[in-house]
Chain A
Amino acid sequence: MSVLFVLIGVSMLVAGGFLIGFLWAVKKGQYDDSYSPSVRILFEDKEKKAEELLDLENTAKKNHKS
């Protein structure tokens, strides 16, 4: 039965981990705005694509010149 002590210890550790996780999330302001993250995840990183395109164009031009 003394395994119970170990089990309770472990369960407290796990639960404590979640508590710390929660407190950290509150501190970082994850509960401040519950709407925009849901939208933000759907945005594509278009600006990067544009940059890549430019890079491609530039290299193409260089190749053309040489």
Chain B
Amino acid sequence: MVNMQQEAKNQICVHCGDDCGKHPVMWDDKPFCCNGCSTVYQLLHENELCSYYDFESNPGIKIESGKFKEKFAFLEEEEIANQLYDFSEGNIRKLTLYVPAIHCSSCIWLLENLNILNSGVLKSVVNFVKKEVSLTFDSDQVSIRQLAELLSSIHYVPEITLDKLQQKQNKDANKKLLYKIGIAGFCFGNIMLLSLPEYVPGSEYLETHFKNFFGMMNFFLVLPVFLYSGNDYMISAYKAIKHRFVNIDVPISLGIITLFIQSSYEIFSGTGAGFMDSLTGLIFFLLIGKWYQNRTYQALSFERDYRSYFPVAVSKMENGQEVSTPIEKLKKGDIILIRNQELIPADSILTKGDAQIDYSFVTGESKPVFKEAGDQIFAGGKQMGSAIELTIEKDVVQSRLTQLWNQFDEENSEASKLNSLIDRISKHFTLIIIAIAALSGVYWLFNDTSKAIFAFTSVLIVACPCALALSAPFALGNTMRLMGRLGIYLKGSHVVEKINSITSIVFDKTGTITQADEVKISFEGEKLTAEDYVAVKSLTRHSTHILSSSIYDHLKDISPENVEDYHELPSMGISGMVNGREIKLGSAKFISEGISESKSLTTEVYYSVDGNVKGHFTLSNQYRSGLSDLIKNLSSKYDLHVLTGDNDAERENLEKIFPASSNLRYDQSPNDKLEYINQLKKEGKKVLMIGDGLNDAGALKSSDVGISIADDVYHFSPACDAILESSKFSELTRFLSITKKSIWIVKLSFLLSFLYNFVGLYFAIQGILSPIVAALLMPISSVSIVAFTTITTNLIAKNKESENKITNNKNIEQKDFVSAKSVQLN
């Protein structure tokens, strides 16, 4: 027996690497954890695609439910399909699908060999960074729906949401930046080469026609940089001035334009060589800084609205026929069919069938709600059990949930940019520089008129805040990248700055400080025998109810037996005969008239054998490990709040974890949460909100920093500023301290760049700024700032990493659940 168990434990699913348990599904002498996995293997085996398993061990993806029958039915709809195509001519179609499951080289291999599975696929190319597959296919041989189903059948389920349909990504912006960098780099290099003769001793012997030629070459080379590569800065500065504020681009543009005019004048008048090399170098370095800052996590989606939660289409009943209809087209009065596990897209009234709605997505409350015909059902609930028919009450856009989102549409992100540290500094900076330039100009006007204009322009040139403009992008961009490696993905580097200023932290409960899928189950009553456990496991296997499946999952190492005479009473319980004993599981009322449900508000499932009540299972939430340490650390620096959609059954536990000063609120609807955040903001607090679900989406969006917590960062996460891997939740303090330190680094590098400016001003005010000083000062300052910021930010993250290793070892028994799944991001 012991041996058997050992063997069973050692068997790992060939496909997905999961533990196969005691009874693996065997096929081709290979163990599989479930039928789904073995089906994929068989499919690949038949098509001689088994080298899939050669590149990486156990590369497959496990999927719990293997049914995709109707999920992609909406793709038959011409209108939706047309929106998806990148290209369509004749019967050749091209489309790009987002497949979050792409994770290794085997995935790339298999997805690029799709034409073996279906000859209608002409070409498939994977973009690993974006987790996308571009498919070119023959629409005569294979339909878009069949393609989606083919991908699902090998467990690469494409995620098609209306969200994606609406906005074709702005990937061109990134390319444009690369063009600009390329051109600026080309011109910078050549101008440096042509300017070099001026700097070496003996340049005064250079023949004049060479000087003229080099000057003209420089002038023509600088034009594309000035007009094309650098135009963003001038446009941004122009916009800023128009809106009556000063951003960092104003002094930069001032410098660029002065450099250009001064140098052109010198070249055409033959009075000097100009500063063209400084000008192109400046723009080149600035663009590189911009590129560094703009690199984000392309595969992650931070911008989501209700469309990404709701299905693209649902089945509408028309004259007794099912018609797949896009949800945007649903109108009041339409009758729709919702199957097991499907989401309800709009507020509606139940007309047919027994509904068992799981609102955990909306309210956070994990207990499903039972509804009968005639009851109102709100959007966002998920039907569990048999199919139901609903009559729509309100348009999708007008339903309660979507309204939460729509009220943000008008808000502009422009306003937040104003507050950034660098713009605040540049406001004073610009004024001071202009003052210094004017003063030195006036001074020379009275002492040596010939130097006046030159001194004025020199100050503007030398003060051009290149190093200043680079310090923030590199420090914050690098911090963002390092944090991504540690498990928190920021939307952009500006989030680092925002996190630094927060004063309050608001937690959602379900799924955030508790684990959504992990339920703590305990039994109270008579001691259960092994036979009892077998009976419970066997019985729960037959029910799709969320409580049954929780209990079923809880009893891991027990193999179920046959159940006879199985009955399920909705909202009551389940019963059946196991080994000749009558087993009942369910609510107190269902088990026996005599007992009443205890007063505690936790979820209870009663258990009886042959009419004897043995006791009840108590299901309660499991808190994330390391939570109390985390709260202890945070409570000294921030004020803490907890918002939950659940009732106050967990009050005692929560009060143990959270200090008395923190605010705990129960029974909060999505709207309450949003209001609460707004209230805190009105009190002048900077709010960090951490949540996970649809019900937090509004609150996440309205908070200063919204962090959404996710088990799989590529799947479902509401609109937010950052995504946190749930296994890294306990390291939140560490993330906060990293951001604090990186802001310090930014400030230090500001100081450093001011120092360079002083050196430059020393020459400029005296009117003796030579091109070589400018040409040296500019790259030296930029490079040293970049080096300083990247090295120090790396050091911070490293220090923390080693510190963390020590604490990790201490808490090792607590952290055993941390998944080792490494994610590759750019």
A4 interfacial by beta-carbon distance below 8 Å: yes
Q: By the criterion CB–CB under 8 Å, are B128 and A36 in contact?
A: yes
Residues of B456-498 at the interface with A, using a CB-CB cut-off of 8 Å, are none
Q: By the criterion CB–CB under 8 Å, are A23 and B128 in contact?
A: no
Question: What residues on B are CB-neighbors of A39 within 8 Å?
Answer: 55, 105, 108-109, 128
B637 interfacial by beta-carbon distance below 8 Å: no
For the complex, give the distance between the alpha carbons of A5 and B105 in Å. 51
Known: A15-B190, A46-B51. A27 touches B175 (CB 8 A): yes
Known: A40-B112, A46-B51. A26 touches B182 (CB 8 A): yes
For the complex, give the distance between the alpha carbons of A22 and B178 in Å. 9
B705 interfacial by beta-carbon distance below 8 Å: no
Select one of B48, B109, B190, B210 contacting A4, CB under 8 A. B210
Question: What residues on B are CB-neighbors of A19 within 8 Å?
Answer: 182-183, 186
Select one of A27, A40, A47 contacting B116, CB under 8 A. A47
Residues of A36-62 at the interface with B, using a CB-CB cut-off of 8 Å, are 36, 39-40, 42-44, 46-47, 50
Residues of B118-143 at the interface with A, using a CB-CB cut-off of 8 Å, are 126-130
For the complex, give the distance between the alpha carbons of A42 and B104 in Å. 13
For the complex, give the distance between the alpha carbons of A64 and B373 in Å. 72
A6 interfacial by beta-carbon distance below 8 Å: no
14 intermolecular pairs with C-beta atoms under 8 Å apart: A1-B210, A4-B210, A16-B186, A19-B182, A26-B182, A33-B127, A33-B128, A36-B126, A36-B128, A39-B105, A40-B112, A42-B105, A46-B48, A50-B48
B28 interfacial by beta-carbon distance below 8 Å: no
Question: What residues on A are CB-neighbors of B26 within 8 Å?
Answer: none
Question: What residues on A are CB-neighbors of B55 within 8 Å?
Answer: 39
Question: Which single residue of chain A is at the shortest CB-CB distance from B178?
Answer: A26
A63 interfacial by beta-carbon distance below 8 Å: no
Residues of A3-33 at the interface with B, using a CB-CB cut-off of 8 Å, are 4-5, 8, 11-12, 15-16, 18-19, 22-23, 26-27, 31-33
Question: What residues on B are CB-neighbors of A32 within 8 Å?
Answer: 127, 129-130, 171
For the complex, give the distance between the alpha carbons of A32 and B299 in Å. 12
Question: Which single residue of chain A is at the shortest CB-CB distance from B175?
Answer: A26
Q: By the criterion CB–CB under 8 Å, are B182 and A22 in contact?
A: yes
Question: What residues on B are CB-neighbors of A66 within 8 Å?
Answer: none
For the complex, give the distance between the alpha carbons of A47 and B123 in Å. 14
For the complex, give the distance between the alpha carbons of A66 and B207 in Å. 88
Q: How far is the CB of B485 from chain A (nearest CB, A)?
A: 15
B113 interfacial by beta-carbon distance below 8 Å: yes
For the complex, give the distance between the alpha carbons of A44 and B130 in Å. 24
B217 interfacial by beta-carbon distance below 8 Å: yes
For the complex, give the distance between the alpha carbons of A18 and B128 in Å. 27
Most buried by B among A34, A43, A44: A43
Q: How far is the CB of A3 from chain B (nearest CB, A)?
A: 12
Q: Report how many A-B pairs have Cβ atoms within 8 Å.
A: 63
Question: Which single residue of chain A is at the shortest CB-CB distance from B171?
Answer: A32
Question: Which single residue of chain B is at the shortest CB-CB distance from A12?
Answer: B190
For the complex, give the distance between the alpha carbons of A50 and B116 in Å. 11
For the complex, give the distance between the alpha carbons of A4 and B51 in Å. 59
Question: Which single residue of chain A is at the shortest CB-CB distance from B213?
Answer: A5
Q: By the criterion CB–CB under 8 Å, are A33 and B182 in contact?
A: no
For the complex, give the distance between the alpha carbons of A49 and B639 in Å. 66
Question: What residues on A are CB-neighbors of B213 within 8 Å?
Answer: 5
B826 interfacial by beta-carbon distance below 8 Å: yes
A-contact bits for B426-437, CB 8 A (1 contact / 0 none): 000000000000
Question: What residues on A are CB-neighbors of B51 within 8 Å?
Answer: 44, 46
Question: What residues on A are CB-neighbors of B129 within 8 Å?
Answer: 32-35
Question: What residues on B are CB-neighbors of A5 within 8 Å?
Answer: 213
Question: What residues on B are CB-neighbors of A35 within 8 Å?
Answer: 128-129, 824, 826
For the complex, give the distance between the alpha carbons of A44 and B48 in Å. 13
Most buried by A among B130, B186, B194, B824: B186
Question: What residues on A are CB-neighbors of B112 within 8 Å?
Answer: 40, 43
Q: By the criterion CB–CB under 8 Å, are A15 and B182 in contact?
A: no
For the complex, give the distance between the alpha carbons of A7 and B193 in Å. 12
B333 interfacial by beta-carbon distance below 8 Å: no
Q: By the criterion CB–CB under 8 Å, are B178 and A31 in contact?
A: yes
Q: By the criterion CB–CB under 8 Å, are A36 and B186 in contact?
A: no
B525 interfacial by beta-carbon distance below 8 Å: no
Q: How far is the CB of B298 from chain A (nearest CB, A)?
A: 9
For the complex, give the distance between the alpha carbons of A27 and B182 in Å. 12
| Other 9 A-B pairs with CB < 8 A, given A16-B186, A19-B182, A34-B129 | A23-B183, A26-B175, A26-B182, A35-B129, A36-B108, A39-B128, A42-B105, A46-B48, A50-B48
Q: By the criterion CB–CB under 8 Å, are A15 and B175 in contact?
A: no
Select one of A15, A36, A40, A50 contacting B189, CB under 8 A. A15
Question: What residues on B are CB-neighbors of A4 within 8 Å?
Answer: 210
For the complex, give the distance between the alpha carbons of A65 and B348 in Å. 70
Q: By the criterion CB–CB under 8 Å, are B108 and A40 in contact?
A: yes
Question: What residues on B are CB-neighbors of A18 within 8 Å?
Answer: 186
Question: What residues on B are CB-neighbors of A43 within 8 Å?
Answer: 109, 112
Question: Which single residue of chain A is at the shortest CB-CB distance from B214?
Answer: A8
A-contact bits for B12-31, CB 8 A (1 contact / 0 none): 00000000000000000000
